[in-house]
Amino acid sequence: MPELEDSTAKTKAAFDPNILQDLLPLYYKRLFPHKQFYRWMSYGRSESSIFSNREFSFTLQNDVYIRYQSFETQQELEREICSRAPFKIDIGAVYNIRPKDHRGSVAIQPVQRELVFDIDMTDYDDIRTCCNEANVCQLCWKFMSIACRVLDEALREDFGFEHLLWVFSGRRGIHCWVSDKSARHLDTAARSAIAQYLNVLISGGEGTASRVIIHDEMHHSVKRAYHIVAPLFEEICLVDQDMFSKPEGVKKLLALVQDQTIRTELEKRFKAGPSDSKSVWQEFVAYFEELRMSGNINRYRRYRFIVEEVILAFTYPRLDINVTKGFNHLLKSPFCVHPKTGKVCIPFNPNTASKFDPTDVPTVIDLLKEVNVFDEKNTVE
């Protein structure tokens, strides 16, 4: 085993992806939860061929990609994982035949699949100011934290799902696996319907913030989401991200108001007052309160929910709905090691997601160092 540097400091040294090939064999042999992984994927063998007809894919060194793998037993899967030491394991659908036989005479068709959700931090790049691209810190993680709460409550309360697994992707995103039997057997149309139901954001186009449109009444699911995100809007958007203190942030705020006359009036008021985010937001809210009090019902009607729309536009979960819609979409397995960061894709509790620190997730180096310490201690004893 390669010598492991001390990585116990809070600020971890940058991970060197070149050493991953030397670390993975021991990780898979000593630490990967093969038994628990098999129990999840087999669902107690409650349905015929549910494990043997499941597709797994491996990404090996130098981006060698192997699809349509399937296994009969836990031992066979474990042996293959330990032998190949894949840089990434993806989980696919359960098919009507064994995926390894997909070149045979019977056409391969997916028959069941967990309902999955994928949220990527890069989809918040147009509004977060602390990081960009693949970088994530504790400030922008708050967007992920409230996304967990919003989606978890919607999936449980609106659809009655119970078995949800939330996983940190190892770098910049989160995945949710809904494993209820009723969810696994949803067809493509039903998955699309659920994805659309939960996706209240309307794309604003390149360079502008996505918008939310509330018509005569706020839907109960949107109302529940609003009650989750509204108390955190000031902390996240006005303080942590300080979204409206620069002209580009103000431009995105104004873009959510469709009336050119109102946008012009707001812009004048913003320029006349303090330019910090809190003051800009207070002026925005005050303007529409004055419009409500003016008695101009026709002008105000369209902007009755403008404050709620803006808060939701900047805080509501940004789903990659194509992942959810796809019946046979492959998604990274929990407990993989991210090849760029070395971090393990660990599950977390959505109810305590606000306490989760993505910058302090254990790396494969951290874990194998603990194995070394354990082995040395037991050797001495």
Strand partners, 182: none
Neighbours of 46 (CB within 10 A): 8
Identify the active-site residue in 78, 114, 118, 309.
118
Q: Are 171 and 136 in contact (CB under 8 A)?
A: yes
Which residue has tokens 């009723």? 182
List the one residue out of 152, 159, 194 whose CA is nearest residue 174.
152
Tell me if residue 360 is catalytic.
no
Q: Are strands 115-120 and 110-112 parallel, antiparallel or unpaired?
A: unpaired
Identify the active-site residue in 90, 114, 120, 240.
120
Residue 246 sits at φ, ψ, to 5 deg, of -120, 155
Q: Are 50 and 94 in contact (CB under 8 A)?
A: yes
Torsion sign over Cα 121, 171, 64, 67: negative
Q: Are 346 and 335 in contact (CB under 8 A)?
A: yes
Tell me if residue 118 is catalytic.
yes
- Cβ within 8 Å of residue 135, ≥6 positions away: 172
Helices 260-272 & 247-254, crossing angle to 10 degrees?
Answer: 150
Tell me if residue 320 is catalytic.
no
Identify the active-site residue in 55, 123, 309, 366.
55
The residues annotated as belonging to the active site are 55, 118, 120
